[in-house]
């Protein structure tokens, strides 16, 4: 009988303080976490899946109830080895992916309704195979055989990143995968503790659903769940899975390494259904509230992550309501907790907020277009300012107006003479807008955030000073991007005329968006002249 226990097998990659990559099991990684920088895997979905598993493990093994309990863990400087060993002794068999009674994050094979086995490649949604989107290399699902290590890595991606998969196959507990935020510490130990969320999310967890390895209920009996706990949510099972090991020696098609045992097939079926909005708030996810309801913040095509720094790191309900007062945001609960840890002196007050953000962009169903993994950080001074989130979001709204105006101006400059021009035309617009946002990012980080961090909140004019300077930057960078977009135009009279009209269109629209009062003043002036 095959056996592969995740507590002791060296399946988790990490980077130590010297920069070397190490491979250990769950226990070794946690016991050494204070000497490690971070988890490492080339695939971001796997990397974040491992983080979520370790967070859920510590949450259940140490059972902290409030930030004072987190303070005790942090003060110790490392995870208590005795607590880890006692927990492993009690629940160790549940971490074997081939255990006969309780295979890790699976169902015993005898309890699954008999269906034809599925290719094991389904575990890796980011793998370009089968009906998945073609990226750099594409193959048939049936051609794949995974090592036990790779199967373990695939299993931990299911809870956070599962997409909808056809009739009866629900996505993750958060629906279509959102942006996931990981608050970073100085080492892996601190990072894990910072993300063990004990502060109350804006939707209160109801119930005491245990972590998946302690849940003795068969998945068929708990598919439609209406009560949630954070540990239960972190180890959600949107699929019934049972790996089918082979005894044959061979090469893992994912890693390319020779292995003593492989898995080619698995049983695969519908698992837990995603909850309706309003029942669950993931502590590592930002939320948007509109008149249509609540939804997680998700990746958007052609939108750089830094543009969502407000919702991801700062904004809470009531901080910002949009132009029409119909939208608000809730930053992740783990960021509320980080701020509280600093405010109460549990961690250094001056410690900056550093996060890693993980995500995959899908079509809302099965197809995955891109995965993301990016770092963001802000100074503690910005996190502590009550109006910082609103100011940043107001600045982003203004930047969006200018980006839209670039598009409209280019549409005027490049008349469409048939559908054959559509793709080339769209590429010109995307290129110009991308150039605009790239140049704006440096200005935002070096000018906007730097100025904001030094502002005195008691200075009533500080907001307007910063926004006025930001508007000048937007006009400058928007004009440069538009000129770049107009560059490929011909130099005949008709083309030059369209360029002038496009630039005038941009200037008029941008002036109206950034300086609406100047438009009103102009109307008043004209009316006054007409009346004399």
> Between β-strands 328-330 and 262-270, what pairing exists: parallel, antiparallel or unpaired?
unpaired
Please, what sign has the CA dihedral across residues 380, 452, 282, 99? negative
Helix axes 422-443 and 388-413, enclosed angle (nearest 10): 150
- Cα–Cα distance between 225 and 276 in angstroms, integer? 10
Tokens of 420: 């054959």
Tokens of 170: 């629900």
> Between β-strands 258-259 and 250-251, what pairing exists: parallel, antiparallel or unpaired?
antiparallel
56-77 burial: b if 16+ Cβ within 10 Å, else e: bbbbbbbebeebeebbebbeee
User: Residue 216 pLDDT more than 80?
Assistant: no
- Cα–Cα distance between 395 and 111 in angstroms, integer? 55
Confidence of residue 135 (pLDDT cuts 50, 70, 90): very low
* Phi and psi, residue 119, nearest 5°: -65, 140
The residue that leads in pLDDT, 488 or 27, is: 27
pLDDT tens, position by position, 88-133: 999 999 999 999 999 999 987 666 666 789 999 989 877 764 445 5
> Between β-strands 328-330 and 287-290, what pairing exists: parallel, antiparallel or unpaired?
antiparallel
The residue behind tokens 């700062």 is 314
CB-based contacts of 402, cutoff 8 Å, min separation 6: 436, 474, 475, 477, 478, 510, 513, 514
**Domains in the chain with CATH codes:** 1-384 (no CATH), 387-532 (1.10.132.100)
Which one, of 168, 178, 298, 287, lies nearest residue 238 by Cα?
A: 168
User: Residue 193 pLDDT more than 60?
Assistant: yes
Q: What is the DSSP string of 291-348?
A: TTEEEE----TT--GGGGHHHHHT--TTT---TTS--EEE--HHHHHHHHHHHTTSS-
pLDDT of residue 115: 77
Which of the listed ranges 8-17, 321-330, 362-371 does the model predict with the highest average pLDDT? 8-17
The residue that leads in pLDDT, 86 or 362, is: 86
Confidence of residue 365 (pLDDT cuts 50, 70, 90): confident
User: Residue 1 pLDDT more than 70?
Assistant: yes
- Cα–Cα distance between 84 and 31 in angstroms, integer? 8
pLDDT of residue 138: 45
- Cα–Cα distance between 168 and 418 in angstroms, integer? 42
Q: What mean pLDDT do residues 301-326 have?
A: 90
pLDDT of residue 428: 86
The residue behind tokens 């029942």 is 279
Which one, of 56, 54, 22, 52, lies nearest residue 40 by Cα?
A: 22
Tokens of 50: 């491992």
pLDDT tens, position by position, 267-307: 998 888 888 887 899 999 999 999 888 999 999 998 999 99
Which one, of 407, 406, 476, 464, lies nearest residue 440 by Cα?
A: 476
**Averaged pLDDT of the chain:** 88
- Cα–Cα distance between 35 and 303 in angstroms, integer? 36
Q: What mean pLDDT do residues 323-334 have?
A: 89
pLDDT of residue 227: 65
pLDDT tens, position by position, 467-511: 999 999 999 999 999 999 888 776 777 778 888 888 999 999 999
């Amino acid at each position: 009988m095959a056996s592969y226990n995740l507590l002791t097998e060296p399946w988790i990659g990490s980077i130590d303080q010297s920069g070397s990559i190490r491979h250990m099991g769950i226990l070794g990684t946690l016991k050494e976490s204070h000497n490690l920088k971070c988890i490492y895997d080339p695939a971001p979905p796997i990397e974040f899946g491992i983080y979520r598993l370790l967070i859920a493990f510590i949450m259940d093994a140490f059972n902290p109830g409030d930030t004072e309990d987190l303070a005790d863990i942090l003060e110790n400087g490392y995870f208590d080895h005795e607590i880890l060993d006692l927990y492993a002794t009690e629940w160790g068999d549940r971490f074997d992916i081939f255990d006969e009674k309780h295979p890790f994050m699976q169902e015993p094979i005898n309890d699954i309704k008999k269906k034809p086995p599925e290719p094991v490649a389904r575990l890796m949604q980011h793998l370009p195979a089968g009906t998945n989107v073609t990226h750099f290399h594409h193959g048939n699902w049936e051609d794949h055989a995974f090592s036990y290590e790779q199967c373990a890595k695939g299993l931990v991606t299911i809870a956070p990143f599962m997409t909808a998969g056809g009739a009866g196959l629900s996505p993750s507990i958060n629906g279509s995968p959102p942006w996931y935020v990981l608050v970073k510490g100085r080492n892996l130990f601190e990072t894990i503790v910072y993300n063990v969320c004990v502060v109350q999310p804006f939707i209160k967890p109801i119930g005491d659903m245990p972590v998946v390895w302690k849940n003795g209920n068969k998945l068929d009996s708990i598919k439609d769940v209406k009560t949630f706990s954070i540990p239960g949510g972190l180890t959600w099972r949107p699929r019934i899975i049972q790996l089918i090991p082979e005894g044959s020696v061979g090469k893992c098609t994912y890693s390319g390494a020779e292995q003593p045992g492989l898995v080619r097939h698995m049983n695969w079926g519908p698992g837990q259904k995603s909850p309706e909005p309003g029942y669950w708030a993931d502590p590592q996810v930002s939320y948007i509230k509109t008149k249509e309801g609540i939804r997680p913040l998700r990746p958007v095509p052609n939108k750089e992550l830094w543009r969502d720094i407000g919702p991801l790191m700062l904004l809470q309900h009531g901080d910002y309501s949009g132009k029409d007062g119909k939208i608000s945001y809730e930053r992740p609960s783990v960021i509320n907790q980080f701020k509280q840890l600093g405010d109460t002196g549990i961690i250094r007050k001056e410690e900056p907020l550093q996060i890693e953000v993980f995500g995959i962009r899908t079509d809302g169903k099965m197809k995955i277009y891109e995965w993301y993994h990016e770092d963001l950080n802000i100074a503690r001074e910005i996190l502590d300012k009550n109006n910082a989130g609103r100011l940043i979001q107001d600045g982003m709204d203004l930047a969006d107006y200018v980006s839209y105006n670039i598009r409209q101006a280019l549409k005027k400059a490049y008349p469409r003479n048939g559908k054959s021009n559509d793709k080339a035309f769209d590429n010109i617009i995307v290129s110009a807008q991308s150039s605009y946002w790239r140049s704006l990012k440096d200005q935002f980080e070096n000018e906007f955030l730097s100025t904001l961090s030094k502002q005195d909140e008691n200075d009533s004019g500080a907001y307007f000073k910063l926004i006025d300077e930001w508007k000048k930057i937007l006009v400058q960078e928007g004009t440069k991007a538009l000129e770049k977009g107009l560059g490929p135009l011909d130099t005949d009279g008709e083309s030059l005329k369209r360029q002038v009209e496009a630039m005038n269109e941009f200037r008029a629209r941008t002036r109206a968006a950034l300086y609406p009062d100047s438009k009103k003043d102009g109307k008043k002036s004209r009316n006054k002249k007409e009346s004399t």
